[in-house]
């Protein structure tokens, strides 16, 4: 493939860059975050799916280097854009894609390929990326260069499904662009799934995450009503899951977090409203339910403390896990952080155990003291709240020492445990 540039060296871009190096490519990992560029260049990975050893091996080939300077993209053959697509003031913010497009466009050459991987609303590749690349470079796609869209499906920390064995959607603005996009990935992804146009691939990615978001909202609401009905929601879900067709089990929890579920569905509802003039009501409802979960968790903790003659104000509360899901250190949009903030606001003395968080992320935790999981911390807590069920927590120790456990993940057992 010759020279490859991966723009953005985050949760998506770093594993992709390393995989491309392993497949024999010469890769430049571009990122505007100078600290990240330096750390990666020194062999320090912050992504669970890429160990420091694997990163080091890639660096030692001499075919992987990190840079914060777009000049290092000169002469590239294939470029993949993996920059963030957040919501800003509740609306899609594709400014990172626009910036990346403008900066890479000056290095476009005849025959090269640009592939967008960031999650985004239908139309971005053809109506935003394409004109930016063409107008800045003076070249025409697909006559002079190719444009593809291939959304990332990576699930950070998943030990089974990773880049190589997760089927990857691919699309192009024309058959030549699709062929160029497939040629790039087929050397290191087992199965490619071509779809007819970037719009379809963009919509499919949003549909996948919206499906999950809505189903989680459904079981979360079910958990709330089942608690009031006096029914064990997990038993009901487990029983329903014995049906061999037409049912898929999802687990209730303290809300949704990370870079995908709280954000991607709103990209879809925003675009539907803008382009079709219609509300996507399922998405609005799911947002409403999932965003309300941290407050519900705090209400349940307050009720649990109340039965023990304790107000939240002044109580010592030990939160276990702040990341948005188990076995990762990503605190972005984590509902656990929302729970922590609400408890701090109510005057609780909040301590938290998060062995996976990086020091730069823990700076986001106002009012929360980070501690290690010790017998003394567990014993001193009026309530121990399991928010993220990391595998490396010592559950028998927690169960043996805690006075009261509120478990949002169905991981703890014993008489002092109350489940979400
Ligand atoms: N994290 C996931 O699990 C996941 C899964 C599937 C898809 N996605 C999507 O992939 C995209 C990237 O997500 P991520 O989690 O890797 O984000 P990230 O924040 O981990 O990494 C993105 C990187 O891009 C860099 N960046 C921003 N603007 C840049 C620019 N103009 N030029 C160069 N670098 C720039 C940032 O500094 C950052 O290091 C998003 O659209 C996201 O929705 C994420």
Q: How far is the CA of 407 from the centre of ligand 1 (A)?
A: 32
The string of DSSP letters for 291-333 reads HHHHHHHHHHHHHHHHHTT--STT-EEEEE--SSSTT----TT
DSSP state string for 15-82: HHHHHHHHTT-EEEEE-S-HHHHHHHHTT----TTS-HHHHHHHHHTT-EEEES-GGGGTT-SEEEE-
- Cβ(255) to ligand 1 under 6 A? no
Provide the terminal-to-terminal Cα distance of the chain, rounded to the nearest Å: 51
Look up residue 24 and give its two tokens: 């024999």
Minimum CA distance residue for ligand 1 atom 43: 119
* Distance from Cα 80 to the centre of ligand 1, integer Å: 11
Residues identified as active-site: 260
Instruction: Report the relative pairing of strands 91-92 and 87-88 from DSSP bridges.
Output: antiparallel
Q: pLDDT at residue 362 above 70?
A: no
> Which bin fits 195, alpha (ψ -120 to 50), beta or left (φ > 0)?
beta
Q: Per the omega criterion (within 30 degrees of 0), is the bond before 142 cis?
A: yes
CA 275 to centroid of ligand 1, rounded, Å: 26
Q: What is the pLDDT of residues 148-170, one digit of tens each?
A: 999 999 888 888 999 999 999 99
Burial (0-12, 13-18, 19+ Cβ within 10 Å), 398: buried
Give yes or no for residue 209 CB within 6 A of ligand 1: no
pLDDT digits (tens, 9 = 90+) for 227-277: 999 999 999 999 999 999 999 999 999 999 988 899 999 999 999 999 999
Residues 296-339: tens digit of each pLDDT: 999 999 999 999 999 999 999 999 999 999 998 888 889 999 99
């Amino acid at each position: 493939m010759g020279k490859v540039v991966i723009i953005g060296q985050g949760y998506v871009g770093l594993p992709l860059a390393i995989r491309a190096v392993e497949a024999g490519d010469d890769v430049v990992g571009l990122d505007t975050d100078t600290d990240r560029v330096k750390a990666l260049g020194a062999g320090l990975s912050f992504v669970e799916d890429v160990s420091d050893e694997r990163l080091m091996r890639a660096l030692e080939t001499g075919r992987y280097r990190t840079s914060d300077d777009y000049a290092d993209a000169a002469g590239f053959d294939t470029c993949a854009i993996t920059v963030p697509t957040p919501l800003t003031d509740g609306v899609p913010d594709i400014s990172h894609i626009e910036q990346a497009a403008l900066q890479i466009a000056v290095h476009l050459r005849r025959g090269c390929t640009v592939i967008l991987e960031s999650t985004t609303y239908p139309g971005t590749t053809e109506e935003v990326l394409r004109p930016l690349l063409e107008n800045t470079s003076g070249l025409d796609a697909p006559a002079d260069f190719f444009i593809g869209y291939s959304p990332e499906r990576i699930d950070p920390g998943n030990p089974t499904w990773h880049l190589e064995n997760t089927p990857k959607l691919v699309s192009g603005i024309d058959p030549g662009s699709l062929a160029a996009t497939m040629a790039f990935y087929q050397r290191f992804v087992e199965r490619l799934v071509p779809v007819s146009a970037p719009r379809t691939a963009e919509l499919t990615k949003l549909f996948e995450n919206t499906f999950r978001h809505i189903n989680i909202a459904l079981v979360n609401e079910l958990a709330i009503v089942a608690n009031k009905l006096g029914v064990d929601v997990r038993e009901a879900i487990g029983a329903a899951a014995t049906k061999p067709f037409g049912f898929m089990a999802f687990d209730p929890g303290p809300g949704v977090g990370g870079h995908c579920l709280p954000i991607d569905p709103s990209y879809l509802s925003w675009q539907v409203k803008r382009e079709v003039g219609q509300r996507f009501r399922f998405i609005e409802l799911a947002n409403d339910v999932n965003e309300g979960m941290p407050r519900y968790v705090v209400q349940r903790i307050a009720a649990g403390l109340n039965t023990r003659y304790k107000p939240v104000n002044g109580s010592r509360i030990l939160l276990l896990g702040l990341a948005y899901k188990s076995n990762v250190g990503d605190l972005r949009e984590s509902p656990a952080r929302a729970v922590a903030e609400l408890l701090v606001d109510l005057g609780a003395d909040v301590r938290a155990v998060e062995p996976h968080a990086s020091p730069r992320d823990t700076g986001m935790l106002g009012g929360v003291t980070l501690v290690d999981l010790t017998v003394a911390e567990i014993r001193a807590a009026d309530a121990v709240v399991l928010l993220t069920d990391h595998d490396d927590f010592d559950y028998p120790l927690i169960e043996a020492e805690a006075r009261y456990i509120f478990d949002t993940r169905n991981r703890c057992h014993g008489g002092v445990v109350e489940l979400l």
